[in-house]
Amino acid sequence: MPLNTLEEIATYIVSEGKGILAADESNPTCGKRFDSIGVNSTEENRRDYREMLFRSGGMKGNIGGVILFDETIRQNAKDGTSLVDIISKQGALPGIKVDKGLQPLEGSPEESLTQGLDGLEERCDEYSKLGAKFTKWRAVIRIGDDIPSDQCIQENMQALADYAKIVQQSRMVPIVEPEVLMEGNHSIEDCFKATSRCLKILFECLNNNQVNIRGTILKPNMVTSGSLADIQAPIDEVANQTLKCLQTNVPSELAGITFLSGGQSDINSTAHLDAMNKIGGFDWKLSFSYGRALQQAALKTWLGKKENEQAAQEALSHRALMNRNASLGQWSSDQEKKIF
């Protein structure tokens, strides 16, 4: 089926339980991942690792989109096939991270503002020619003493809206990612308040910019306890609080919501998503856009060795299927008995 409109592209990415593989780690971040398994982060090794992921059998039917880094969208596989073509042949759409990272927020240096609006139109035009169908921009919001500030939320949400408008004018779907970080000892109530403030302002800014909401995907955090909090909210509370936050602040016409995992374990990120879809009662597709929570088992299995590639691909395929099942509200912990 040809995907000609923003609405068709956005809808396809989250159709039938499919979600997004986030493989847009910057080279320094990829270097840290590779350090953990004793592999040098060379361009060739990064290419081989991602090619291995993209050729996994479980991509087909479970992954609707793959977010790439600038280096990756330009790379060819060992046999000369572009990585973009490999992704497309798996039935997934290639996407691209377009922000330029974080800078300290003026007047509040413990907070940050995402950069990258300068030259964005030209970058989008190039990425579109390279095959990208969607894009991603991440804003980072921290919870702490007297933060997030109104200034931090307003400036980051406006930047997300400005980015989304430029991207849609380049005929690509924008993923807007207002991430309220798990890092900290805050309560689930603190996370609910911060996430609600962000989403309320984000959609005000998107509407003011006349962004096509039906051709937009939201990539939010789930509403959880801080990673260092003494009391961790149980799965059902995370599911209920996240849905309450979304239903209060997110318009029903949005194409889809693809959660980030944000430091949750593989199983928790799947279990929370499944719990929300079992509750139901919402108009959007609730799916996943996971990086580490999809890749970690594959990375630890691969170890940079060719003889481990098939087992690593099976590990990725298993996690992709588990999260597709969760997106349909059809996951159970019994399905996790296959150990890699």
Catalytic residue numbers?
177, 219
Paired residues of 141 in beta bridges? 180
Cis, peptide link before residue 148, omega less than 30° from 0: yes
Let me know if 286 is exposed, middle or buried by CB neighbors in 10 A (0-12, 13-18, 19+): buried
- Measured distance CA(14)–CA(255) in Å, rounded: 8
Looking up tokens 């599911």 gives 239
User: What are φ and ψ of residue 232, in 5° steps?
Assistant: -100, 125
The one-letter amino acid at 137 = W
- Render the burial of 127-156: b for 16+ CB within 10 Å, e for the rest: bbeebbbbbbbbbbbbbeeebbbeebbebb
**What DSSP character marks residue 111?**
E
In 3-state terms, what secondary structure has residue 138? strand
Number of C-alpha atoms within 13 angstroms, CB side, residue 177? Answer: 26
- Measured distance CA(339)–CA(301) in Å, rounded: 11
In 3-state terms, what secondary structure has residue 155? helix
Tokens of 49: 């690792």
Q: What angle do CA 40, 82, 114 make, to 5 degrees?
A: 65
Tokens of 21: 């593989």
* DSSP, residue by residue, 226-237: -TT-SSPPPHHH
